Amino acid sequence: MKNFIAAELAGQEQNVSTAFSKQSSSFDEVDAGNEILQWMRTRVRENVLKFWHKGEHILELNAGTGIDAIYFAQKGYYVHATDNAPGMLGILEKKVCEHRLQDKITTQNCSFLELKNIKEQKFDHIFSNFGGLNCTPKLEEVIKSFSPLLKPCGTITLVLMPPICPWEMLYALKGNFKLAFRRFKRNGTPSYLEGVRFTTWYYKLEDVIKMLGDDYEVLNVRGLGIIVPPPFLGNFVQKHRALFKKLISIEDSIATKAPYYSWADHFMITAMKIK
């Protein structure tokens, strides 16, 4: 049984790596063209910069093509950017050279299940954006591997997808129950990207807090995509720009309040290491 589970996990990791490597050539263009995603990314950055100080060292997981790594390096941070998709890392490394950020960004092909392979240093912060960690059923194992990599009072910021997304659930009114309730599957949800199948798991905020245990103090929680539609509805902005701005205003007023931050496309949690 253990060998079977190990083989399943290895297959999952390989499929995720293949899918995102295939997407790497178009990833930046898609990201830049999605105004909802850009709004979310801005809110994430605003959040982490409340807790970071220039000159600190960041370990970024699932760094992709380095959209955030480049941004933070240009702001004066040192980033060790990791990903398990060679295609993504290849583009990231080209950007590092183009922007002459070799002194600010280092890269490593590394799965978040193999963080023991990062041995160079300890970090002030660990950062994972936009649901990269939803690609593993072993989130608790990943979280437990953070402590040896963090300096005392270092922080982690994880942006994850929860089971309840109101916008997706509204699709039940259109009879699309597959989309409306896809996040509720206990054994993970089949996902497809660039013709490659892998599994996505959705995590409750309260379960993530339990995984952190007594080793961390939660500093901040915020929902992303509570009232604002999720990124896959990117054309919503062009059709309803005035409404989009109103929804942003409403969401900003409730995004850090319970229970709303748990009912979203993503939530982000920042916690400080205290042990």
| pLDDT tens digits, one per residue of 93-125 | 999 999 999 999 999 999 999 999 998 789 999
Would you tell me how many other CB atoms lie within 10 Å of the CB of residue 211? Answer: 16
Q: Give which of 28, 163, 159 is closest to 88, Cα–Cα.
A: 28
Residue 75: alpha-carbon gap to chain centroid: 20
User: How far apart, in whole angstroms, are the C-alpha atoms of residue 198 and residue 263?
Assistant: 24
User: How far apart, in whole angstroms, are the C-alpha atoms of residue 129 and residue 269?
Assistant: 11
Q: For residue 145, give every residue at least 6 positions away whose Cβ sits within 8 Å of its Cβ, in sequence order, or none.
A: 112, 115, 116
Q: Mean pLDDT per segment of 10 residues, for the chain of length 275 residues?
A: 62 94 95 96 97 97 98 98 97 98 97 90 96 97 97 97 97 95 93 95 98 97 98 94 97 97 98 95
Domain boundaries, the chain: 2-273
DSSP 8-class letter at 194 = T
User: How far apart, in whole angstroms, are the C-alpha atoms of residue 14 and residue 8?
Assistant: 10
User: How far apart, in whole angstroms, are the C-alpha atoms of residue 250 and residue 37?
Assistant: 17
pLDDT at 29: 95
Amino acid type, 150:
L
User: For the domain 2-273, what is the CATH code?
Assistant: 3.40.50.150
* Six-digit token string for 127: 């950062």
pLDDT at 7: 65
For strands 216-224 and 189-193, give the pairing: unpaired
Tell me the residue ranges of DSSP E strands in the chain. 57-61, 78-83, 105-109, 123-128, 150-160, 189-193, 196-200, 216-224, 266-273
Give the burial class of 33: count Cβ atoms within 10 A of its Cβ; 0-12 exposed, 13-18 middle, 19 or more buried: exposed
pLDDT at 56: 98
Cβ contact 191:132 at 8 Å: no
Phi-psi region of 105 (alpha: psi -120 to 50; beta: other; left: phi over 0): beta
Give the burial class of 245: count Cβ atoms within 10 A of its Cβ; 0-12 exposed, 13-18 middle, 19 or more buried: exposed
User: How far apart, in whole angstroms, are the C-alpha atoms of residue 10 and residue 2?
Assistant: 12
